[in-house]
Structure formats: C-alpha cells, structure tokens
Structure 1
C-alpha cells in the first residue's frame, strides 16, 4: 500500500489530493468520489459566500464519511467563510495566496488543521514559523492561479529541506502514477492534482471545457495575467485560445485598454443563479455557460499533455495508484 506519514495522520489510504478548484468547480460530488476512493478531496469554495459553503459541506457529508478539506482563497476572503469551516468541524482548510497566521490559532483550538499552498521557499518558511500543519509546494507547471515562478522539481525538495519535519504536498504537472513516485522521491508526502481531476466526470465545469483540455499539449498552455476581472494581478496558467491570441496581436494592451473591455460575453449558472460573464473574467466555463469558451479562462496545467480522456474520479485514483505501485515494484526488481 502506498502510504506516507501524512496519510496516516489524516486517516486516508493514498497520498492523492484533488485540488480545491475555486468557484465551486470542485464540489461535493468530486470531493466525495476522491475521498471514497482512498484519496482526499478538497472543496473549492474560493469566492463563495459562507452560507453556500455550509450547504456544500453538509451535502458532502451525505456522500462520504471520509476526510476532506475546504479551499479558501485569501484575496477573495468573505465574512464567515473560515468561521463556517470551523463550525462545521472540517478536518482541514487549505489557504492560498496570503498569510495564514491570523487563522491558525483559532483553527487549531477548534480541531481543524491548516494547510497553505505556497510558491516559494521564503513563503514556506514563514508559514511553517506561523504554525501551519502542512505545506503545498506549487510548481509553475500548475494550471489555474499560480504563485510560483519555479519548477516543481526545484521547489519541492527546497521546501522539504526548509520546513522539515513538516509534511509537504507537491502540486503542479502531476497527472499519473509516475508523477506521484517522482514527487515522493523529491521528498513530498503526497501530491495535489488539479488538471487531472478537472477532467473527471464529477467536476462542475462544462464538458466542452474538459474535452478541450484532453486534446491539449503542454505547449498549448500560457502563463498570463490576462483573465483578471475578479482577481487582478494574479498570474494563471490557461489554454491558449482566441482571446489570448487577439490580445497578443493587439500588442498586449494593459488592463483598461484591451479589446472589448467592459463587455459581457454571456451568462452561466453559479450557485443555482444565472450570472453575467464579463470579458476577461476569472470565470472558467461552468455548466450552462452561453459565452464563447474561446474567450474565457480555460485553466489547465502542463499535465494536460498526459490526459486523454474524461473518467470518473474513482477510476482516476485507482489508475494512478496502480501505475505508481507498478513503478515502485520495478525499482525493487
């Protein structure tokens, strides 16, 4: 069995976490499927109100009794988000893009662990000194919002050494069992996968978006600041599309001077409500989206090159573990 100290600490079978993809992309169905399969799912509640987070946690608990986490994006922090997680006795929260220190003491007092995703060794050291329970080291290969500017193979061992004995989770560019083994060999105690689980049946985004990711190559991804309406000055990795190409052709105009700035692309469903999709918004294509996908943020990491089909999350977990165990067995031989 592929177990690490972090697995035993959390009570999970395998060192595989699904990323808490924000805005509800990673909802109860995905999280339950991953956790029930022996991994650990993380709800993506970044940017969502506390009342909705409570509903999602309660719905999740009807689908699984296994450990799970909730992701909160600190630049989008709303009143009551973290308090709700603590009220609901969530096993752990994952914080991103900010200082975890103000939240650690109360979380620990109420029995919730605090993880933080970081993009540098310096950020990891500060988080460790503040008292976090685990650190997710993100490589620049990651899809979605990316704080790191260095590769996974560099940041993981550097962070492991800097914060020892704190557990480190590797994120970015991992989509199969070989990647899991590689991350563990770098010193990580688990991996966190976003793009791989984006292409699961359970993830709450449009199927056309998932299919677009399965057809992509690593070279099709772009590290940019373009899709900033809703979260300015935050770098992200997306698939190249018509919107990016037209912006580049226009000479990379700055925010406020871009083609079609301020217009609306269409609508989509969020939290059961129809919302407008502004041009250059942080929103990816969600179910029921009427906007042109080729003008939206198609978040995906370089690991898209390793994904060729949409599968159930439980199948993905099992396939990754099977391959990882096969690779490890070859080393023993």
Structure 2
C-alpha cells in the first residue's frame, strides 16, 4: 500500500502520473460519462474520463471543449478499439490527438501498436484489462496506468476473476500504477483496494448515479433502489457489440424471462424488437444501449448497467460529494490500518 496524505489530497503513484489530488478515476461509461460528469470529477480532485465509445468525431470534439470550459484539470477520453469499426476509430483518435487530450483510456483487447501511437501523440495511456496476461502485455507495451477489472464490475466485463484475486496477482508483477475496478463505490472499497496493492480506484456505478451523469433518471433510481444481489452477469445483452462480450446489469424483466439461460447468446441470433429510440435511431431489446437523458421508450427492458457495489449506493449525490465522502472514509480506514500495524 503506497499512499500518503499531502494537504487535502492523497498522493499515490497513480495521482502523480495523472496529476490529480485523489486516486479516484470515473469510468468512461459509454453514454453516461459525458462532459458534465468528467469535468465534475476532475474539478473535484479525481480524474474524469469521457465515455466516447463509437461516438462521432464532432461529438467528441464538442465534449472535449465542454470539459475544458468547466475545468482546467486533466481528464481523459475512453475508447474501445475492439468494438469500433476501424474507420470510425481512426477518426476518433485523430480528434483526440488533434485536441491534445491529456490521456486516453482503452479497454478489452490489448493493442501494443495503439499504445505506442498514443504515447507518440503526447497522451498518457490508461488500459483496462480483465486478466493477468493482458495486464502484463499492456504494461510491457508502455501503458502508464493499468486498470484491473474484477468480475464484480458493471457494464462490459472482460475477465472472470473476482477483483480480490486478480488485483494482488497483477500488483506482484506490474510496476506501473494500478487502479482497481469492480464493485468499488465508497471509501471502504478504496481503502481495501489500496491494501491489496492498487494505487487508486476506477469507479462507474457510483458516478452513474450522480446529477452530472448523462444516464436517464430511471437508471439512476434503479441503482439506488438495488440490493446487493440485484445484478446479474450475462451475455444476453449482445446487440451492437462483438460476440462473447459479457456484461453486468441490474436484473429486469428481460433477465427474468431468460430464467437460468443467461449465457450462450450471439448478437446476430437475437430478434430485433424496438423498445425505444435515441437521437433518431432505434434501441433494440437485448442491445447494449443503456437509457440516457435523450432516450425514450421502455427503460425497464434496457441494459441497466451496474456493478455489484450498487447495493451500497443509496442516494443520488454530486460527483464532488461522492469523492469527498470516499476520501474521508478511505483516509479514516487507512489511519486505522496504520495504527493496527504499529
């Protein structure tokens, strides 16, 4: 556990690399993580990520500009090359590099050439992984930060190991800063992650349930009403993503109708049934589209992404309140651990 308090911040190798006061990264959730949320997290001392997965270059440019209007603190842009058409990915990258964003965050398969290219463009690289092998590969290729995702995480889930197993294994062999991801929604989780070898936390669910999140209010309300056993790991929500890409979502009528058959679904084999619309395009049942402020339709049947920590999120709080509370509790726990170690 490499952490020390400095003034009102908490300095770790992660905060030094990302130039932030607190070792808390808000996940680049495609859709909910727009400029309002990313800027609020960075302004509060954390590190905000824009979730720009498969978004148009024009939207990315506008969102980057919007973050910079709200804060002068560093932030990053999250893209998923694995799930993006090559031409669109290239256009997305060109916008980010031209705008000289401080950092890029990638997820799923590791592409060493992309890491090298991103570094050459002057951006720091965060890479989210779900296995030990991918963590090693990303670090070897030059990633500045490795985000270790446990199976408890909400949204798309790359690996199959619990965070408590995967994180220490990665920490033993990876020498760059590590952020823990999966079920962390408060200071207790952050302190536990630091004790297991991480240098900070990467959080999605708790930031989705903030006023700054672009998620629909229905999604936020379902999170704060959720209990500890109200999420399910499945590949049932598959349309719009490559095959064999599991997700963790809140239970709903769609998962209930599937019964015990939560696995074995392929995007091309799922029936297209329109249950909503967003920005003029249809939202299909079984798709990976979560409801946003701009979405209309039957929200209950949509993919309501949430990690296993949703049961501990009981109120909608601002990003600033989330970070301040997280740090207060984490510092208290770390102090207690230090005293016990004497």
TM-score (normalizing by structure 1)? 0.93
Shift of the 173–62 alpha-carbon distance from structure 1 to 2, 3 Å rule, reads same
Q: Distance in 2 between matches of 1:332 and 1:148?
A: 32
- Give the CA deviation at 1:19: 0.2
Q: Which residue of 1 aligns with 2:257?
A: 246
Shift of the 17–251 alpha-carbon distance from structure 1 to 2, 3 Å rule, reads closer
Q: CA RMSD in A?
A: 1.7
Q: Distance in 1 between matches of 2:289 and 2:93?
A: 22
Question: Could you list the runs of 5+ residues in structure 1 that have no partner in the other structure?
Answer: none
| Structure 1 stretch displaced more, 300-309 or 95-104 | 95-104
Equivalent residue for 1:122, pick from 115, 127, 133: 133
Equivalent residue for 1:290, pick from 296, 300, 306: 296
How big is each residue's C-alpha offset from its partner over 1:24-59, in whole Å with a ceiling of 9 and x where there is no partner?
Answer: 310110011111110110000011122211111111
1:104-119 counterparts in 2 under 5 A?
104-119=115-130
The answer to whether the aligner puts 1:226 opposite 2:236 as a matched pair is yes
Q: May I ask how many residue pairs the two structures share in their alignment?
A: 325
Shift of the 257–81 alpha-carbon distance from structure 1 to 2, 3 Å rule, reads closer
User: Does structure 2 conserve the Cα–Cα contact (< 8 Å) formed by 1:107 and 1:113?
Assistant: yes
User: Does structure 2 conserve the Cα–Cα contact (< 8 Å) formed by 1:218 and 1:301?
Assistant: no
Question: Could you list the runs of 5+ residues in structure 2 that have no partner in the other structure?
Answer: none
Off by >3 Å, runs of 4+ in structure 1: 249-258
- Give the CA deviation at 1:119: 0.5
Q: Which residue of 2 aligns with 1:188?
A: 198
How big is each residue's C-alpha offset from its partner over 1:112-151, in whole Å with a ceiling of 9 and x where there is no partner?
Answer: 0111110000111111221211110000000000001001
The answer to whether the aligner puts 1:140 opposite 2:140 as a matched pair is no
The answer to whether the aligner puts 1:41 opposite 2:52 as a matched pair is no
Shift of the 107–263 alpha-carbon distance from structure 1 to 2, 3 Å rule, reads same
User: Does structure 2 conserve the Cα–Cα contact (< 8 Å) formed by 1:264 and 1:279?
Assistant: yes
Q: Which residue of 2 aligns with 1:167?
A: 177
Equivalent residue for 1:31, pick from 35, 38, 44: 38
Q: Distance in 1 between matches of 2:263 and 2:20?
A: 46
User: Does structure 2 conserve the Cα–Cα contact (< 8 Å) formed by 1:199 and 1:310?
Assistant: yes
Q: Distance in 1 between matches of 2:264 and 2:173?
A: 39
TM-score (normalizing by structure 2)? 0.91
Q: Which residue of 2 aligns with 1:279?
A: 285
